[in-house]
Structures are given as C-alpha cells and as structure tokens.
Structure 1
Amino acid sequence: MALQHSSFIFLLVLFFVHPILSFSLSTLSITENVNNTIICALVPSVTNTQVSFLNCTTFPTSTELPYTYPNISVSAITGGDGFQCLLRSPTASLVTTLGCFRFSSNNSTSAYKRIYRGPMLEELDAGNSHMCGRVNRTNSLQCWQWPGFNTSIGRNISRIAVGGEFVCGLSEFGGVECFGNDTAIVTGKPTGNFSLVSAGFNHACGIYLNGSITCWGVRVGNIPVGTFASLALGNNRSCAVRTNGTVTCWGDNDFRLPESMADTQFLSFIAKGKTFCGIVTSNYSLFCFGRDMVGSNSMVFERVLPGPCRMNCPHGPLPGSSIFCNNGVICRRSCETTLTPSGSPPALPPSSSSGGDNNKGRNNNARIAFLVVGSVGTFALVMVLCFSFFKFCKGRGCRIHDSGRLDEVATAPQNGSSLRLQGIPPRPTTLEKRLSHMVSGQLEEFPLQVLAQATKNFSQEHKIGYGSFGSVYQAKLDDGREVAIKRAELTSSLYGVGTKRQDDNENAFLSELAHLSRVNHKNLVRLYGFCEDGSELVLVYEFLSNGTLHNHLHKLKDSPLKLWTMRLKVALDAARGIEYLHTYVVPPVIHRDIKSSNILLDSKWTAKVSDFGLSLMGPEDDESHLSMRAAGTVGYMDPEYYRLQQLTTKSDVYSYGVMLLELLSGFKAIHPHENGAPRNVVDFMLPHIIADELHHVLDPKLPPPTPDEIEAVVYVGYLAADCVSPEGKDRPSMTEIVSSLEKALAACGPQPFLSRSSTESLA
C-alpha cells in the first residue's frame, strides 16, 4: 500500500513536471547535404547580444559558410536534406513569413525564397524532405514540400514532429496522432497520455506523462529506463534528455553519447540523420557529435541563442535570457526541477519502531501530505486557468464580425478552435497555401515608402473613402499606374494579444489577399499587390475612376446611370462577377457583402465587384452550407442566413436582389419612410411587384422607360423578387440571373457605347 501511495505521488509530481508547452520552435538546425552535414544556429552578435545572426558551418570539418540572406529578424530556423528555412519574427500585425534557401553540392546557397506568409506559426519542424508548422491559436497543420499530403487531417494536434514520410503530434488530451505514408508509424502508434513526441527518419518515440519513453516504427537499440524531458531522433539513432539535463543515447552501431559529455547538462537537443547537437546549459555553447564518427564530439559555436524570444513564458524565463532579447525573454523548460538525476522514484522511508525513525516517518508523511495538497491545488489552478482561457477564446471568438464556424465552436475539444486566424475562412490551410503561392510572384509587394510617397504620407487630399478594414487613397505610381490604396487602421497591441479591431483588420486584409490572388475576371476588381511592414497592412488595387454604384444612385446629380439600359448593364456586369465567384472558382467564393457601395465602375462604365474582406470559400461538394455566425451589411443580409446561421451562395443572391431593388427604385436598402421611421427596400418594393404595380415605384430621377425598356424593367423586377425569396432554395442561381439579365438587356435594344462583359476568366 505504501508503495502504491508513493508511486501515485511520483506520478502526480511528474504530471506537473512535464506539461505540454505552448511553443515548439528551435534556434538550431541540421541540414544533411550531398557530401557533408551543415549546422546552422542563431548566434548573438559580439557587440550587441540582442541582435542574432544566422551562422552555418560544415560538420565535422567546421568550415564556415559565407552567404547572404535578407536583413530580417529571425525567430526560429529549421532544415532538412539540402535546405534551410528561416521563420521571421512576427510583427505587431501578427503576420509572419517563412522563407528558405537550398545548399548546392559545393555548399553554395540559392536565392532566399519565401514559401509562406500568414498567421504566426507556434511550431515548426522539418524532416528529411518535408516541413510542417502549427498555425497560431488554431492547431491547424500547414506543410510544405509535401505534394498530395492532406493537412486537414492533422488539425488539432500540437507538439508536431516530422519524420521521413510521416508527421506526428499530440491531441488535446495527450494522445499520439500520426499521419502520412509510413504505415508502421501510423498504425503502430501507442496509446496513453504523452507530454511530447519526436520523429526520426523511420521511427518515432514519445514521453509518457510519467517521464518514461516508448518507441515505434523501425526501432534500433534498447530504450533507456528513467524519467526524461525531451528527445532527439535521427536515422536509427536516438537521444533522450533527462530531467536534470544530462543525455543518454542509443541506436545502431552501438551509438552512444561521447563519454566526455556524460555529465554535461543540455538546454535543448536536436538531431538529423546521423548528427546530434545540443546547447550546453552552463554557457550556451553548441556541441555536436555523430555522423560517421560515433563517440567523437566538437564544439561548433561558442555561444548560440538558447531559444526563441517570447513575451510570455508559462514556466518562467530562462535566467539571464533577457540579454538576448530586444523585447521579451527566452522561456525555460518546465522540467527543470530538483528530481533525482537518475529520474528514479524517490526511495521509500525504511520502517522502524525507533522513536527517531517514527518521527522521521511522521515528517515524511507530512511532506507527502503537503505535496499531495499542493499538487492537487496546483492542478485545480491549472484547470481553472485552462477553462478560463477556453471560455475567453470561445466567447471572444476572434472572428471578423463574429463569423466563425458554429459546428467547430460547439465541438472545440474534438475539432479545434473555430478561430481561423481569428475568423479567416474555414479552410486555413487553403488560405495559407494561397498566401504562400501569391507572394512567390503572382502579386507585387510594394515598399511602404513608395506608397507613402505616392499618397503624400497618406494625406487627406488623397483620401477617397473607406473599405472593409481601413481608409482608401487614390495615387499615381512612378510607372504611371493609377491605383487605389487601402490602408488598415493602426491599432496598438502587444505581441500575441491584438485588439478585436486589429484582429478584424488583419482578417479582412488576409481574406482579400487570399481571394483576389486567385481570381482574374473582367467584373472583379484587380489587386496589384500588397505591403506588410511592421504594423502596416496595405492593399493596392486598380483605380476605378467612376466610383461606386452607391454614389451614382444616391449622391450624384448628373450620372450616366440615369438611363435604364445603363442600370441594367451595370446589374449584368455585377452578376457576372458574382457568378464567376460561385461557379468558376474552385472552391467557390461566397462574397457575403454584396451591396451598391461594393460595386465599382471603371472609365468605360464596366462594373466590378470589390471588397472581399468578409468573403469565405464555399462548402465542400458533399456539404450544402457552412455553419457561420452571420456577417454582412444590415439591409442586404440574407434573413435566412441570419436566422439559421447557415451560409450558402444563395445568401449572396439575396444581397444581390436587394441591390436590384435599389437600382429599380432609387431607394437605399434601409431608408426613411414618409413618417421618418426606417424602412427596408424589400418590404417597400415587393408588394408593388407582386401587384404588377412596379411602374408606380420606379426611380423618379430617371425618365419613364420606353415601351421596349418597360418590359425589360418589369422582368428584372420579378427577377429581384425571386432573389429575395425568404428561403434560399426558392432563389435563382447567379447563372440563372445572368441569363435573365442578358435577355432583359437584349430586349432594350443595342447599347453602342458600352462593351459587353464575359463570364470567362481573363487570360
């Protein structure tokens, strides 16, 4: 009974010794090149320790590799076979960049190329060929250099570890999950609760909550016994860091730790192939060993950055680490405790009848009781804090206009947070892939200085309006292009904790980038490029000189849109743009904010749909809708979507129908009644259309329709009534709307001054 009691206490202590940490980033990397191994590390500057540089050297020959890389602030690095990647430090905009370069056979490097730009990555790991990261606050998995790998199956895992052809991680409850093409790994995963998992080329190991190790896949060597804090796995070789920082190794060819390092304590340990490296606790030097010289070791760097700089540490900062960080500290491991070096359970007090021994026994029992109470109290505190954090994220939602997926909120423990970059469309992996793709050359990245100069430092004289996340400015670039520049409103925030306004701004910025970077159509506004510089988020569009449809309907006294043929032409252009989003884009895009102020007119009076800040990718083929909290503009929002919180393309159809009624009547979506009370244009127009009295409520600012036009206008009135049907299933599709408008416009006769749009994408 005493033995069971002691074991319980020991396991309870270990539960707190090995919690799952929030971040898993490294300042070290090992690259297996054609002829040698390359060790890279972030090394503090000699003159200013708060500035670190990426240094690389060959191993074991210790030949420093001269190369250049962008002058950016790097927070973490990783590497694999022939490639090295840098994770840029997140800015106040909570956007980070991942870029890579490759080593040739003679160790020269290729040009630095960005492969990812988007929400912060909390974890990053690379195998021999593949690389994966975990996206900030979502636990969604993003992988690169892994064609055909479905990252959506790896949602909701943390502490990721990438192997040869697999990736493993931990579920919310500490269970191991593995994905990929390595059957032995995927099907052989162990059961139980773990504190971490690590991956080699064709084997994986995990540490249970009690500190013991288990391995699966191609296992070589005898797994050590004891309590351990971390692992480093290579090709058929493994090392484990004990809770006191010392290391033991095992594997093929009698692989072991060099005897000279047997008593050395390490802060962290990494491996790749046959090479292992660790940061020494006492002086932050980096020692490596292995490759073909088992038993040998060498110091690669005298001092390296011992870990990424963070603003908050769940287990306190590493002592003295503030000298390395301009803002923040380096977090220490949670396992730095006073457990016995061997990791063995504490010895039980011997039984004796002597008074002194009885007193010792009573003292030991008191200590045990104190430990139990303290541990249980700490456990309760941790659970309360976790619950509070969960409620905070669930309640706040971090979503743009509270538009996260409802089904994911309801099943958060199983499916993860609905915070798709705090509310970005519900396929974060697709979004991030699009972002990674677009920054590789599809869109321009404008220097902030160029945009500031073109707008006279974003002066009021260049300001022409507001968009979904900020002010819009007109400017002319040096190359002669007339552009509209949308600049996000600046908000103050701390690292990792943005205000809701900042979250909304960033969500809209990323949403427009994600969607406009993958569409190209005559009736969609063209995005030239973007700028992300610190807290600055800027989008650069083509400038459409004739402004918004809203202004022509409700503000301008003299407008060509006082002709019925012009209004029907604008309606058809807008419909073709929306039809393209719904039908020709895969997966489809639901705009969610169709309204007259988001329809822009170019110099030839061609209408274009703009402002994709609320847009979402539509449901998969086997799904009928997205479960979303409603978002949009009052007066245009689909009441069925608002009531049932189920989003479909028919929600855009409703908004478009409201805009048609606006075109016909000249009334705003919400306008004052004769008695001054607000009135909806749908409630006003629908009874007249149903009673065949549309001619009584047509816009009086326009001349009466000609005999040819009246038939077309009435036809469009019936079409608008169908679009605003209470139930989405009764509304036409955008393809049907385009066909109907084409017939209506043809009935009006020729329009010689207007060019005809096309539903086909531009080349």
Structure 2
Amino acid sequence: MTSPPLAPAIISFTILFLAAVTSVESLSGTTSTLAVISGPSGPTICGILASQPTHHVVCSRNNSAFNISPEISFTRISGGRDFFCGVRSGGHALICWNSTFVPKRLYYNESFALDNLVVGDYQICSLIDSTRNVMCWRGESPERTQFRGVSSGLGFSCGVVNSTNRVLCWSTNGINSIDNSYRFAEYMQNEYANFSMLSIVVGGSFSCGFNLSGGLICRGNNGNGELDVPLSGLSNVYRDVALGRDFGCAIRNVNSMVVCWGRGFREGYRNVSDGVFFESIVAGEDFVCGLTSSNFSVICWGPGWGNVENEVSLGNILPGSCVEEECECGVYPQSETLCSGNGNICSRCDLVERIPPVSPPTLGDDAPSSPSKEISKGLLAFAIVGSAGALLSVCAIIYCLWTGACFGHKKIHNSVQPTINGTNSNAPNSNGSPPSRSSTIRRQGSRGWSRQRSGTGGLFGRQRSGTSGLFGRQRSGTSGKYAERAEEFSFSDLLAATNSFSLENKIGAGSFGVVYKGKLPDGREVAIKRGDTSTILKKFQEKESAFDSELAFLSRLHHKHLVRLVGYCEEGDEKLLVYDYMKNGALHDHLHKNNVGNNSALLNSWKMRIKISLDAARGIEYLHNYAVPPIIHRDIKSSNILLDANWTARVSDFGLSLNGPEPDHDYRPTKAAGTVGYIDPEYYGLNVLTAKSDVYGLGVVLLELLTGKRAIFKSDKDEGEPTSLVDFAVPAIMSGELMKILDSRVGLPQLNEAEAVELVGYTAMHCVSLEGKDRPTMTDIVSNLERALFLCEDSHGSISSGSISIVSE
C-alpha cells in the first residue's frame, strides 16, 4: 500500500467524527441520536431525550444539562467542530446551533425529506430520502449519484454508491478542488477501489468500512495504529464504528461491548469496564461516548477524557429515531414508552438474528434485585432443613439396614457425588468441583435472555413445551416387558461376542459398568455394557437401578442423535446392555487424548465441531421436548457424546436419567448426580433439578469444543491447580477475547467461520449461567447452532474430508 499524502491542513482543528449511516440496514448502524461537539468551550454532549412528549435535544457541558428547543421534536442529530445539527421529525427541516446554541435553519422543504445526517469539521451532509442523492452544506457534493450512505470527517467526505457498492470521496472544498484535502480524498477513494462496500466511515487521516461480508476494513494513515483493528476483516465481528482523529472504536456484535484501537488504546485495546453494553457510539477528536443498553445513559472515555469513563448527566437518551413508517424488521422493545406514543423505534435488521446481550431497561424502575437472592434463600432453607433431616436420615438408614425394607427401593446412582457445603454452595471445593464465578458474570447471566425483538422469532425466541408427566426414575419391573422393542441375548452369546470380555475389547465405561466391543454371530458390531458384579451390595443396587433406567429409557427412545439400544441380557447377577457400535468413539477422547488415531484430525475444523455440537443438541432437545414423558439426562459430558462411522454425534448413557415434567419446572431428587466439571451448580448446591441442568452440561461441552481444554484442567499459570473450564472461558468470551482461547489445533476461524464460532461461544456462555432461569432452552440452542453451521456451509452444504462426505442433517 502506498503512503498516503499529507493529511489535510485542517488536521490541527478540533473535530468530531460520526459513524457512517446508510439508507439500508447495513452493518454500520443507524443515524445517531447522540452527538459530540468538540469546541473551544469544551466538550459538549447532546442527545435526543427519551420518554418525553417532544423528542427534543438535551445537551451537557461542564456537567450542566440544559434543553435545546424543547418545543421541537428531532429524529437525528450530529456534531461538528463547534456546532451541531438536527433533522426535525418528518425530515423536512434541518436546524444547526453554534457553540452558544444560537439556532439557524439550513433546510426546509415539504416535498423532500432528509434521511441520514453526518457532520464533519465544517461540512454537513444528508441524503434525500426519495432519491438517495447527497446534499451537502458548506461545500459541494457529487451530483446525480445515489448513495447507500455517507460520512464526513476531517476535510473530506465519502459515500458508498448504491449501484456499484464502490466508495466515492470528495473534498469539503468541492469535487474538483485542487488542494491537499482533495488529493487525500482521491487517495482514500483509490484505497477502496478493489472492495465492494456496505458502508464507509471517515476519520482524521484514515477511514474504515464494512465490506459485503460484514468484515471491517480500514485504510489510510497508520502512524498511531489507526489501522490496527483487532480481527480486522473477519466477517460480522463489529457494528457501529466511530472514528476520531487518530483512533477508532466499534461495538462487537457478539456481546455489544466496545473495542478501541489507535492512539491511547494500544495496550490491549482497552476500552471501558467489562460488562458495559452499548446501543451506539460516537467519537470526538480524542474521546468517545456511548449510549449504554442498561439504562440508556451516556458514558464517555478516552485519552482526551482523562482515560476514566464516567457518566454524562443527560438523562435517558433514545436508542434510535422515533419514526412513523412501518418497521421492516420489527419494533424495538419498549418503543411506545420510549417514543411517548409518537412513532416507533425500528429494530435494526442486521441485529434481529443475533443474540441480545441485555434486557432494555424499564425507565424509572428501581434497580433489579440481585439474581443471587433466590439462591441465597434456597441455601438458607437447605441448611435449616438439612440440619433437621440429618438425624432422621441416620435413623432411616439404620432401620433400612436392620429390616432390609429399603432393598426394594433402588437408590439413584451418584457416580461422582461432590461434597456439598450447605452454607456456601458456590465456594471452591478441594475435590476439584467448580469454584464460584465473578459477580460480573452473574450479572450478565441474569440479563442475557429476556430481550425479544418484536416481529421476529429471534434466535432465542422459540419455545416448545414438553409433555407433562410425573417426575421419577423409569423402572422396568421385569425386563421381559421390553422384549418387543429390544432383543434379548443369552449371557453365553455376549461372552462369545467379546472373547470372554477380554481387555483387548474394552472400549470404555458407563454409568453402571464397563463397555466392550463385540461382534454378534450375524456379523453386527455392537458395544456391550456389562454391570460390575464385584462391588459391595449398596453399589450393586445403585448400578442395577442404572441398568433398569437405561433399558427402560432406550427401549422407548428412537432418534438419530441418541445411541440405539440393540438388546439386553439379564441372567442372575449379570446385567448387560447391547448398543450399536460407535466406530469413532467418544468426543472426549478426540479432544483430550492422543492415542485415538489419525481420524481425530477430522475434528480440527470449526465446521465439523459445530456440526457435532448441533447433533448432540438435537438429541438432548428430543429428550426434553418430544419424549413422552420428557427426560432429563443428568450426565451430559463429552465422554457421553459418541461418534458413529459417519461422524454423526449421538448422546449415550442414560443410567442417571429421570423422567421429567415441563422443562420449566423443577424437581428435587434424592441427591445430586453427575460429573465434576459438568454438573449444574444450582443442582449441585440446592439439589434443584430442571431441564436446564442438561443445558449447563452441554454448555461445558461447547466450551470444550471451542478451547480444546478439559472441563477441569490444570493451569500452568496457577502452578498446576485445578481450573474450571467455565471460569477460564466465560470471562474471555464476555470481554470479547474468545479468539485468544480457541483450540490452537484448529486455529483461528476463516472469514466465513468467525461469526459462527463467536455465536457458539456466546451461546455456551449463557448455557453455563449460574442460575437455570438465565439459561436458554434446548430449542433455543439448536436454533443458534443451526445458524452457526449455516454460516460455515460451503456451496455444496457438506463437510468433506478425503473419502468421507458428511451432509449436515
């Protein structure tokens, strides 16, 4: 890339730059309801006030707020060097104010409405709604050219031509002006000559824009790191870009947090506090302001702001323009309240299909109570009742052992029961169970799933009710009742099939025994799970109960993403189950072991990993929503996700499963069961079981697929101390640093995979929320993973490797 010409001579002036806006709902965002004036009187922040009879402008300077023309409603505003402008509601008038807030009307025409407004140093530009032609004041503008959107900055303006998607730039002194600003505009236009763009945003001596695939591309001067955008060019990572004199900021699609780069932001692209989410941002010369999603307040930060973010006293600002026309992609939540009945705020089409990061606030309401309150109350009750029940439990056990009465009631098998501390279920445990998560993550979880956009299903909008039924373990009575659905084998048949259960045929272990590979007389390859008969009586009874559960459940379950039961054997103390043989073994082994063969390389693609996660999610969704009655698996983990010869994932091991009621109901079984690292903290701490407990386990599996790390692993940084994968991965995802923790065996995602991988990461983060009510349903998860796989699909819609071709189902 050739060196740019000198930046325009006007570069020393203080100036505001506003993100480009477009006539279509592109990735660059909508016209702002927030403006910054960087003038000699000091920074002035203005916004269009929400929930007022008139959508008037309020400004703040030196921490003092005051209303501007309170009798006039505005739809959009933009700020410049020492003035700002606003388009009146309806778009037929343009008014500007100088640094002392004296108004001047620049445009009035009842026949043509203005759409989009951008202000640079001196130039003011807007598009004519009906023709898409640009009209500029204080400078010439290109004639008879229809634009998607325009942006004005320091000495020059640019726009994206509607018909060609090419960038056209011009000097603020005129199209044919022979001066430095003209030469720089020409240079900038040439920099985008080989790109088809959706939008362009102009800064000091550089610019950024989104290409047709949603990748952010920056060109121009890079003396202060202006072009060093994290994940530059990857599709759909960012939206709403704002550029200052020599820095830029953008809102991340995946979590609505802001990333900044360039002067003052080089150290780790540090921006604002973690956990702050934004609706929109605008930039001044050396600082940036954003409209928060939590309460529609304004926060500013940056080197020119003292590098300490703080709230500006403006009140609640509209998150979008209130318009009268019909909204193509639905209406923004609380739109009627925000607009006071005068129009609606339209949802952005480019965000309708994304996961909402936060819930929009109810203006005037008190702050929500802590989401941990319910947990705290539960723990208190748990401690009180547990203390009183301890003595009764001891007595009951003595009675059962003395009389043998309890032998007829088989207990729920607890394969990896952690020690439960009744006073603090969230504290770290010495046995390696997951430690507590930060309050920041807890807050995120509490807000992450309630926001729904009107007019769309949304990625997390679909809900399906499960069929109601009594909660309890499925019991078989005599296994002969399953003869019609499962083949009954003799013990001698299975002994011969496994070469007397030789160690060479041992392939794993399940909830009640060891699994062997076998070959039946008719040539069928099967997996045979044999119950361990050598354990003490209590353990045997628990394993027998697990045997009954698997036999009962799998005899009535038939789904392509559940392991199929072939048959069973029950002779004396011998209890065996026979399944279809899963040639490619357990997902866990491919992710965490080095001795499973070269085929593991097939999993070293993001597309294949997303397909496997979708397969597993569909299997669990079937259990929750379509089995009658519904089933909660209780032990979802990567070792219970098996891969057949075609690399289709199937959920296995139903030894701990329970029948369940509606997915949103809960149940308190005898005691918690599951595997450390995967067990739901709410279930583990409070013994409250819901379908969301399986969601937690799947969330951990998703994190395994993304990072390649075990659910509990030893960190070199912490001198080998056990680390929870959830505590390792979730903070990175929340801070927008997922790419730093991805499995290095797969590498960084390609252009068409970046959004898919971030979507999986964001989904996983919500799956492992501390409280079940904050987790998505399995239907929601399936919808998201379908979307992620679609983003990865090639032109043929298949996943191929060598001679294997796997078509997604």
Query: TM above 0.5, one fold?
Result: no
Greater relative contact order, per chain length (Cα 8 Å cut-off, separation 6+) = 2
Name the structure with the higher helix share. 1
Provide the TM-score with structure 2 as the length reference.
0.41
